[in-house]
Each structure stands twice: as C-alpha cells, then as structure tokens.
Amino acid sequence: MADLPPIEEFEQHAREAFAAIPATFREGISDLVVHAKRVTHAHLDDYETLGECEADLMSEESGFRRSTIHLYYGSFVSLARQDTTFDWAAELRETIEHEIRHHLEDRAGLPDLRREDWVEEQNERRHGGLEHDPFFYRAGEELEPDEYWVGNDCFLEVRLTRRALQRIEGRLHPVTFGEEQLEVLVPAQGGDARYVPIEGGWVDDDGNSGDLIVVFVCGRSWKK
C-alpha cells in the first residue's frame, strides 16, 4: 500500500495545496471539506470519487455562484491499497485543481469539464457491461474524421444508410485505422449504433494500448 498520512495531515496538505492556487481562481469557493468516508459511483463500485464541487444552495438563490469543495479521504485510501505506486499528494493537487475548474466553468456557464467527466463515466459503464449512451464517444476528442478518443480507447464510426447497413449485415466491411486496413464483421442484428470490439485493441511502439471499437451507425443517428 502506498504511504498515506493520517487524515489530519492529509487535510493539512489539502489546505496548503488549495491556498497555493491564485486567489482569483479560488474566488467564490466557500470552503474545502475533507471527509473520512470512501465514495464510489452509484453503479461502479471500483470507480472512486476523490472529490466533488457542490453549489451552495443560498448562492444559487442569490444568482451568485459559490461552491464547496469536498474531498473523500477514504477514496484515496482505497486507491493507495490497490496501487503501491499511488502518488497521493500529486493526485490530491490534481483533484483540487479539477474541482476548482468545475467551479469556474459552472460559474461561467461552460459545460466542458462536466462533459469530460460524463464521457469518462459512460466509458467506465461500457467497460463494466452496464447500460450507457450508445453515442457517448462523440463527446470525446475527434483526432481524425470519425475517429473519437476517450482516454486510451478509440472509437471508429462508420456511418451508413439503414438500407446500406442491411445489405452488409453479417459480412466483412473494410475499415481504416491509421495506416492499417481492418476487415470488420458487421453485426447481423442491433440498433442504430452497433459496437464491434477489435480483438487485441491497439498498441503502439511505446507499449501504449487501449480498446479499439468500430461503431456502425445508421439512420437519423448520423446527426452529431
């Protein structure tokens, strides 16, 4: 287990990290609260919640956004038990910065970080075999036309008319990934988004890897 200090020392580190951030970015943050409990996603028990940015109810009524940042010591402890190389101090700073960014974007009415969190959560649900938005990957980063990245996972979207999809159901269809040409078996059944995981995913020369998924999309689902 990675060395994690007692909660009192952890909280002191948290407050020092928070104070080190320029006051301009901390404006409107009422408090930073460290909780002893572990918090996980409602449906993904191994998806640790390290922190949250919560709007103060009184400020919402007044129209001026104020927030409280919550940190969950128990979630840090859980990650430390799973990974002996876990750098809790770096993760703590990153979590505080992440929640401050939530505060700033929510205050400005910008959805970027909320969207990033949402797409990451949807991908975790996919990994866990749980129900998820079939088009969530479109909120990821589109590095090439119809090539979407969510973390290390790549989604290649192939858009077809419903009639064209019906013609090639159960057959191999060519799909390009970088310089590689894939022959992908089109599912004979499914809805408007049909996922085909490529065995082995992708791996580069540096040993980086992730899932590689072809998504056959038809009908009205063309619209982004």
> Which tokens in the block code for residue 143?
């590095």
Verify that 106 and 148 share a domain, yes or no.
Answer: no
Helix (H) or strand (E) holding 14: helix 7-19
The domain tally of the chain equals: 2
pLDDT above 70 (res 110): no
Residue 120 lies in a domain: no
DSSP for 29-74, written as a single string: EEEEEEESS-EE-SS-TTSEE-EEEEE-HHHHHHT---EEEEEEHH
> Dmax over Cα atoms in the chain, in whole Å?
64
Average pLDDT over residues 35-39: 94
Query: What is the CATH number for 174?
Result: 2.60.260.20
Query: What is the CATH number for 95?
Result: 3.30.2010.20
**Rounded CA gap, 69 and 163, in Å?**
51
pLDDT of residue 102: 82
Residue 187 lies in a domain: yes
Verify that 217 and 162 share a domain, yes or no.
Answer: yes
Point out the domain boundary residue: 110, 141, 168: 110
pLDDT of residue 147: 94
Verify that 106 and 138 share a domain, yes or no.
Answer: no
Verify that 82 and 146 share a domain, yes or no.
Answer: no
Give residue 169's domain range: 132-222
Verify that 141 and 57 share a domain, yes or no.
Answer: no
Residue 121 lies in a domain: no
pTM value is: 0.58
Q: Which amino acid is at 178?
A: G
The average confidence (pLDDT) of the chain is: 86
